[in-house]
Amino acid sequence: MRSAHVVSTVREAEQALMDRLPEGALMRRAAMGLAVHCARLLPRVHGSRVTLLVGGGDNGGDALFAGADLAARGCFVRAVLAGRSVHPEALSALLAAGGRVVGDGAREVEEVRGARVVSGAPGEGGVGIADEARAAVLEADLVVDGLVGIGGRGGLREPHAALAGLASASPALVVAVDLPSGVDADTGEVAGRAVRADVTVTFGTYKPGLFVDPGAGLAGRVRLVDIGLGPELPEAGVVRPQAVDIARLLPVPAAEDDKYRRGVLAVRAGSDQYRGAAVLCVGGALRTGVGMVRYGGGPDVLSQVIARWPEVVGLHMDPRSSTDLGPGRVSAVVVGPGRGTHPANADELRALLESDVPALLDADALTLVASSVPLAELLHRRDAHTLLTPHAGELSRLLPDTDRADIEAHRLEQATRAARLYRSTVLLKGSTTVIAHPGERTVVNPTGTPLLATAGSGDVLSGVAGALLASGLTAPDAAMCAAYLHGRAARLARGGAPISASDLLDALPLAVAEVLGASR
């Protein structure tokens, strides 16, 4: 697992460590790690052009010390000062190593002994960036973004905003210090302009904003530098799994297993209007490895399911008049995809919520809960494992006085809020899939891709998660594994080319094999 900590926790850990170290030692550690990663990105170190965008905080100091290291190794290093104040020791180190300050900030260091300065006319309100500073960014081989650190909140102000835009437009590689300037470290939110980095070098621990879009999409490849914070950090509140974490949880058939031990999943999906939802949901379950699927639906839908998946045990069932979970043993139930929102559909959902069977609620089932106080109360009182899989629009209906835009902007917060409200695991789908469970750390899925923004992909996900739930995984683990496999299947299906939801079905076994192979 890759662990992320919020800013307040990082600050406490840093202070505890700094109290035991010589002054400035922690910044030097971070800067050394930054310089190493920058050097690795350059085709050659000696003679390369590196431009530092330097704010007034510790990130600016990190950038300057790293620049001093690169200058001492033969890089042509220029610094553009954007803050009203700058880390004095770091600036002196850069100048002593042969670095230069260019643009408006050059005037502020003319009294520094040994400074080699290129002066420029001041810009007005950040709109006019001095020609020397502009050239330094656009002509660089590598740009280091040290404008704003993890404490930044709200949109970037000038001249930081203009410099962020210039960095993002530069043909140079862009390396962000700790996180891209303009990204909220705790949420990933971006209010206005932000730096788009190719690589982000973060220190001590990951930050949640590096895991969650839009911040994650601006961070590029993320590299962690160990500066000794580990012993000072508590258990992470946000984690991102790796393939080996998923492999440890995936059920693998044993010699003594039979179809019942591997799990029996009841699927209550699809209707005359949305027959494909049933086919896709059942397929997602079968291709994930469940022992048996018992499908219940109207005759037309059932015949289509059996035609595509003859191994399914079928039951004629009118979704509007039946509350039967099906004959025989059932390990878990998926209900909702394409099922319908007629008031009579609520009877089926009510029977499930009153049972002690692990359940996954998606799509129409979530709409029914959102429109019925009694169903919402049943869900809240439920003790069996329960997994809700809303997209942002569905979650906005489940949460009072919350619109879709607010959910998209605060995915971690809103998923956690919903999990507490309904005492259930919540898998919030979208640009970043977030999984929350009451009292547990929040999981951010790393395999998401825009390829999944296609009709029916959510139905497949419900089947995958339902199969894992039926196999005995807890709701949080089933959700985490399903999201990971779903994303990998999308990338494997057609080598990164556009896909349909049906393509996921053939790619799911490939994703499972890939993950299990990672643990060998």
Q: What's the token pair of residue 239?
A: 């984690």
CATH number, domain with residue 164:
3.40.50.10260
Say if residue 387 is in the same domain as residue 410. Answer: yes
**pLDDT at 343 (0 to 100):** 85
**pLDDT at 212 (0 to 100):** 95
CA distances from 204 to 4, 33, 230, 249 (A): 10, 11, 7, 28
pLDDT-derived band at 434, boundaries 50, 70, 90? very high
CATH number, domain with residue 369:
3.40.1190.20
Say if residue 465 is in the same domain as residue 360. Answer: yes
Say if residue 204 is in the same domain as residue 340. Answer: no
At which of 218, 239, 260 does a domain end?
Answer: 239
List pLDDT tens digits, range 403-430: 999 999 899 999 999 999 999 999 999 9
Structural domains in the chain (count): 2
pLDDT-derived band at 56, boundaries 50, 70, 90? confident
Say if residue 235 is in the same domain as residue 265. Answer: no
At which of 239, 261, 279 does a domain end?
Answer: 239
**pLDDT at 110 (0 to 100):** 53
Say if residue 227 is in the same domain as residue 272. Answer: no
pLDDT-derived band at 346, boundaries 50, 70, 90? very high
At which of 239, 272, 296 does a domain end?
Answer: 239
Return the bridge partners of 436, or none. 426
List pLDDT tens digits, range 104-154: 665 555 554 444 444 333 343 334 578 899 999 999 999 999 999 898 877
**pLDDT at 114 (0 to 100):** 46
Say if residue 332 is in the same domain as residue 469. Answer: yes
> By residue range, what is the domain housing residue 388?
243-518
Tell me the chain's radius of gyration from C-alpha atoms. 27
Say if residue 220 is in the same domain as residue 280. Answer: no
Say if residue 227 is in the same domain as residue 259. Answer: no
List pLDDT tens digits, range 154-179: 789 999 999 999 999 999 999 999 99
Question: What is this structure's pTM?
Answer: 0.91
List pLDDT tens digits, range 453-508: 999 999 999 999 999 999 999 999 999 999 999 999 999 999 989 999 999 999 99
pLDDT score of 519 more than 90: no
pLDDT score of 45 more than 80: yes
Give me the chain's average pLDDT, please.
92
**pLDDT at 115 (0 to 100):** 45
Say if residue 421 is in the same domain as residue 483. Answer: yes
Say if residue 135 is in the same domain as residue 167. Answer: yes
**pLDDT at 84 (0 to 100):** 74
**pLDDT at 104 (0 to 100):** 64
Say if residue 234 is in the same domain as residue 267. Answer: no
Q: Residue 473 and residue 453: Cα distance in Å, rounded?
A: 27
Q: Residue 332 and residue 435: Cα distance in Å, rounded?
A: 19
Say if residue 435 is in the same domain as residue 473. Answer: yes
CB atoms within 10 A of CB 333: 27
CB 349 within 8 A of CB 375: yes
For residue 53, report the phi and psi dihedrals to the nearest 5 degrees.
Answer: -100, 115
